[in-house]
């Protein structure tokens, strides 16, 4: 099985991505749409959400409830991604030990995490009973 995305740029640094019947825009300059690194952070966190939910179920928390991930990508002097961090907030009352087990399992399950260089794997925190 393969995933296919068609990316088209008519001019400049902005591109339109056709993903099945969906269309998204990414602008490398961040003027007309999210920039490439913002899009990567969004994809990473969006992939991490279902991984957290399954990880929670596998670690004894059947329903995490509302999940909010604040993603930060720090850039180096060349404006390339140097590090990623997630601050995860979940509605469920999760103690620190269980939270760490959920985080660890979610990274094992997250497909975008697997696709990144080791040094870009997100550092992550989790806050239970956040809402």
Going by pLDDT thresholds of 50, 70 and 90, the confidence category of residue 123 is confident
Q: Are residues 68 and 4 in the same domain?
A: no
Indicate whether 107 and 61 sit together in one domain.
yes
Average pLDDT in the chain: 94
pLDDT at 64 over 80: yes
103 touches 89 (CB < 8 A)? no
Residues 24 and 42 both lie in one domain: no
User: Furthest-apart CA pair in the chain: how many Å?
Assistant: 51
Q: What is the mean pLDDT of residues 21-42?
A: 95
Count structural domains, the chain. 2
Contacts of 120 (CB under 8 A, 6+ apart): 81, 83, 84
24 and 47 belong to one structural domain: no
Average pLDDT of the residues in 61-80: 95
- CB-based contacts of 107, cutoff 8 Å, min separation 6: 51, 113, 121, 122, 124
Range of the domain at 63: 36-127
Please tell me whether residues 44 and 62 are part of one structural domain: yes
Which range has the worst mean pLDDT, 11-20, 86-95, 118-127?
118-127
Whether residue 81 sits in one domain with residue 21: no
Beta-strand relationship, 67-75 and 123-127: unpaired
Question: How many angstroms separate the CA atoms of 22 and 76, rounded?
Answer: 32
């Amino acid at each position: 099985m393969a995933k296919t995305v068609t990316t088209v740029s008519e001019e400049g640094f902005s591109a339109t991505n056709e993903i099945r019947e969906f269309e998204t825009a990414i602008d490398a300059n961040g003027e007309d749409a999210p920039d490439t690194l913002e899009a990567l952070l969004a994809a990473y966190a969006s992939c991490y959400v279902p991984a957290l939910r399954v990880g929670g179920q596998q670690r004894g928390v059947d329903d995490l409830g509302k999940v909010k991930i604040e993603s930060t990508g720090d850039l180096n002097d060349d404006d390339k991604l140097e590090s990623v961090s997630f601050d995860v907030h979940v509605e469920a009352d999760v103690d620190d030990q269980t939270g760490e087990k959920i985080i660890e399992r979610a990274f094992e399950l997250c497909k975008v995490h697997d696709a990144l260089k080791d040094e870009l794997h997100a550092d992550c925190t989790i806050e239970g009973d956040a809402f």
